[in-house]
Structure 1
Amino acid sequence: MERQTYETLSRDSKLSISTIQRTFGHFLAQAPKVKIIKRSAVNLRLDATYFNRFCVVVYQDDFDGHTQLLRFSDKEDYLEIREDLENLIHLGVQLESITTDGHKSILKAMKLGVPNVTTQRCLVHIQRMCLIWLTRRPKHPAAIELRKMVLDLLRINTHNDRIYWTDSFRKWYEHYQEYINEKVFQEETGRYWYKHRLLRRSYYLINKALPNMFHYLNNPNIPKTTNGIEGYFSHLKNHLDLHRGLTIKNRINFIKWYVHFSNEKR
């Protein structure tokens, strides 16, 4: 922790800096386990965030933000995530849906580990990636029109909205199919490459996710985004930034304490 932070805590708590340091050291030497609560019809938000030298996969109930499980790893691993999901069910967490950003390891773990649980793709993630690839000011009509449709994603609140949007999306592809699939020959590699790769990538991201984009319309308890857990990550990292210089073990224990106190407040 930075010296200035210790001084602020010392002033507010009337404790000496050395006492505060010993107290933090005592807490960071150990950490509580995450409490799993048996619940039915759980709509989970599943996401991961990366720190220096490790990542944390978080399984969070959208109902009240209770974190049911944490996984510390070096990446989003299929076998680990599948094991976590199966363990949650074994421990009494009856999953109804999981909202995810669509990482391939998560999707595979869900498909093979919990095939009866509804997969909801995060609309904000789809929108964010497409807007990056399409850029803020695309020039070709195909990209301009797709960008407009992407911006409308979060405004889909009824089945009529969904039907209109998906119909427009399919008509857009039919109209621009030849342009999207246009290839050019590169003499350097001796191969043909798609000329409009980012536009094509945007289309295929949406098209592949489409079957799992609108389950929230059938069940209002299903979150259509992982925004809640992303905000949680942001808040966590802001607090952890105040404690620069911690060892990896202490950083992990800090996160466990953060999750513990966050759960206790709910």
Structure 2
Amino acid sequence: MRKNGHDRMGRQRWQCDGCRLTAGTRNNTKRRRTQLAQFLDWLLEAAPQRKRTESARNFRKRVDWCWRLKPRIEPDGVVHRTVMADGTYMNGWCLLAAVDGEDGEVLAWQWCARESTAAYKALFAQLAPPDVLVCDGMKGILKACAQIWPGTRIQRCLVHVQRDTRADLTSRPRLQAGRDLKRLADTLTRIHDADTAARWGQALNAWHERWKGMLAERTYAKDHPDDPRAATSTSGWWWTHLPLRRAYFRLERLFKDGTLFCFLDPTLTAQGPVPRDSNRLEGGLNAALKRMLVNHRGLPEAHMRRACEWHCYMNSAKPDPARILKQHDRQSKPRTDQDNEPDMTQPTLGTGIDWNEFHASTRYPNATE
């Protein structure tokens, strides 16, 4: 084949020296970019396919190749002052996400089976250490932060603290001590300065001085042989008001270690306000992910996860679907019939873990090679 001029659209034409037949080249890049844009509009819009003229089946067949694209956020080394991290569960899987605490842009994500230390370490390894991490305070995220970001301060989400207290005391505590403690916990989100926080700590200490005798009460198995706890108690006794003790000592521990009112530290607020809850992540990204899956209910599991990845990528700082398409075309190879399903392997960034290996070791711990 040799070059044989151009067609009226300016595209190169070729001619065979043997049979003298000519043929032109067709650039599919523009068409593929248009289809990718239509695919993302359909995937991320609030009411998919209501304004589309073609049938849903034809549209799905036309953009089916888009499911094979694997979006990812490249680590840029930018230091973010505050980062929010949390996990949301869907269809048996957990998606860990980290967003900027100031504008809510998605910084990284990681798939896992549960919110474990290994999963959060893989997430944090993709980012530069921030000044403050706003989280719900689960053991996995705290341990991972201490190992990956040892110099990062922790701000416990005050809304999660209130929820944990309500879970222990119920919404309508039966005892007066529980009603007083719940009232203290409910005022956490109304504290805006250091003086009010100090008075809150004094009120918590006064509550303990008043009810410490009640917290120390024990119930002995010999006095209640019919209680189910008598058969399982190894010490022969248990705390009479265990939920009340758990709620109080949680608040006391958070107040003493400085994670309850970290957002009031002058050294941190000198550069701007620090979030005191993770509502920007919970009500922003996580809620939008759930709405998207409801709008597209019935997707296969692999497509559900890929849809979540696209949603996270399009809410990052500089989303560029054309770059993802270009990278895919550069790295693509001839596919066989058995490769028709999209590859859902989680990309490993930095010191992250291989998704398949992590899935086998966490969800199926007894799996063999």
Give the alignment partner of residue 51 of structure 1, picking from 90, 93, 107.
90
| Kept in 2: contact 1:10–1:20 (CA 8 A) | no
Aligned mates of 1:69, 1:172 — CA distance in 2: 42
Give the alignment partner of residue 149 of structure 2, picking from 94, 114, 118.
114
Report the equivalent of 2:214.
179
Name the count of aligned residue pairs.
Answer: 256
- Would you say 1:249 and 2:302 are equivalent positions? yes
3-state SS of paired residue (1:143): helix
Shift of 1:174: 2.1
Map of 1:84-95 to 2, 5 A cutoff? 84-89=123-128, 94-95=129-130
Greater relative contact order, per chain length (Cα 8 Å cut-off, separation 6+): 1
Report the equivalent of 2:194.
159
Distance 1:11 1:124, change over 3 A: closer
Aligned mates of 2:191, 2:316 — CA distance in 1: 32
Aligned mates of 1:155, 1:11 — CA distance in 2: 43
Distance 1:245 1:197, change over 3 A: same
| Kept in 2: contact 1:53–1:74 (CA 8 A) | yes
Report the equivalent of 2:173.
138
Percent identity reads 25
**Aligned residues: CA RMSD:** 2.1
Distance 1:148 1:159, change over 3 A: same
AA matched with 2:299: L
3-state SS of paired residue (2:127): helix
Deviations 1:171-213 (A, max 9, x none): 2112211212211123332521111121111112212222211
Distance 1:11 1:252, change over 3 A: closer
Distance 1:24 1:149, change over 3 A: farther
Give the alignment partner of residue 107 of structure 2, picking from 64, 68, 79.
68
Report the equivalent of 1:224.
276
Unaligned runs of 5+ in 2: 1-42, 320-369
Aligned mates of 1:23, 1:223 — CA distance in 2: 44
3-state SS of paired residue (1:64): coil
3-state SS of paired residue (1:263): coil
| Kept in 1: contact 2:108–2:126 (CA 8 A) | no
Give the alignment partner of residue 40 of structure 1, picking from 48, 72, 79.
79
Report the equivalent of 2:315.
262
Aligned mates of 1:264, 1:102 — CA distance in 2: 26
Deviations 1:28-85 (A, max 9, x none): 2333112444433420001011112210111111121111110100011212322432
Q: Pick the structure with more strand per residue.
A: 1
Report the equivalent of 1:103.
138
Larger radius of gyration: 2
| Kept in 1: contact 2:96–2:123 (CA 8 A) | no
Give me the TM-score of the superposition, normalised by structure 2.
0.65
Aligned mates of 1:247, 1:137 — CA distance in 2: 42
3-state SS of paired residue (1:13): coil
Runs of 4+ with >6 A deviation: none
Report the equivalent of 1:17.
56
